Amino acid sequence: MNRAVRLAMVMVLVSLAPLFAQVPFERLVNSHLEPESWLTYSGSYDSHRFSHLDQITKDNVGNLSPKWVYQMRRPGLVETTPIVYDGVMYLTESPSNVTALDAGTGRTLWRWTRPMPEDLRNIGFPRVNRGVAVLDNRIFVATLDGYLFALDAASGSVRWETHVADNATGHSFTLAPLAIDGKVIVGTSGGEAGIRGFLDAYDAETGQQVWRFWTIPGPGEPGIETWGGNSWMNGAGATWLTGSYDPELNLLYWGIGNPGPDWNGDVRPGDNLYTSSVVALDADSGTLAWHFQFTPHDTHDWDANQIPVLIDREWEGEERRLLILANRNAFYYVLDRKTGEFLHGNEYSKQTWATGLDENGRPLEIPGMEPSYDGTLVWPSLQGATNWFSPSYSPDTGALYVSIREMGSYYFKSDVEFEEGEPYLGGGEQALRGDDAQGWVYALDALTGERRWQFRLLSPPWSGVMATAGGLVIGGSQEGNVYALDDDTGEPLWSFFVGGAVRTNPMSFSHQGTQYIVMAGGNSLFVFGL
- For the stretch 32-67, pLDDT in tens is 999 999 999 999 999 999 999 999 999 999 999 999
**Full DSSP string of 476-488:** E-TTSEEEEEETT
pLDDT of 18 strictly over 50: no
Mean pLDDT score, 148-168? 97
Strands (E), 12-87: 50-51, 65-71, 83-85
- Structure confidence by residue, pLDDT tens digits, 475-511: 999 999 999 999 999 999 999 999 999 999 999 999 9
Q: Strand, coil or helix: what is 358?
A: coil
- pLDDT on residue 2: 57
Is 301 among the residues known to form the active site?
A: yes
- What is the longest distance spanned by two Cα atoms in the chain? 66
- Structure confidence by residue, pLDDT tens digits, 381-406: 999 999 999 999 999 999 999 999 99
Q: Strand, coil or helix: what is 464?
A: coil
Closest C-alpha to 444, from 316, 352, 338, 306: 306
- Where is pLDDT greater, at 13 or 362? 362
- pLDDT on residue 3: 54
pTM summary value? 0.95
Q: How confident is the model at residue 75 (pLDDT cuts 50, 70, 90)?
A: confident
Cis peptide before 217 (omega within 30 of 0): no
- pLDDT on residue 74: 86
Delineate the domains of the chain, giving CATH numbers in brackets.
34-529 (2.140.10.10)
pLDDT of 228 strictly over 50: yes
- Where is pLDDT greater, at 18 or 179? 179
> In angstroms, what CA-CA distances link 335 with 124, 401, 453?
30, 18, 23
pLDDT of 11 strictly over 60: no
pLDDT of 9 strictly over 80: no
Q: How confident is the model at residue 21 (pLDDT cuts 50, 70, 90)?
A: low
Strands (E), 174-247: 178-179, 183-187, 198-203, 209-214, 244-246
pLDDT of 7 strictly over 90: no
Q: Are strands 354-357 and 363-365 parallel, antiparallel or unpaired?
A: antiparallel
Q: How confident is the model at residue 306 (pLDDT cuts 50, 70, 90)?
A: very high
Name the catalytic one among 46, 301, 303, 487.
Answer: 301
- pLDDT on residue 93: 96
Q: Characterise 156 by phi-psi region: left (phi > 0), alpha (psi -120 to 50), beta (else).
A: left
Burial of 297 (0-12, 13-18, 19+ CB in 10 A): middle
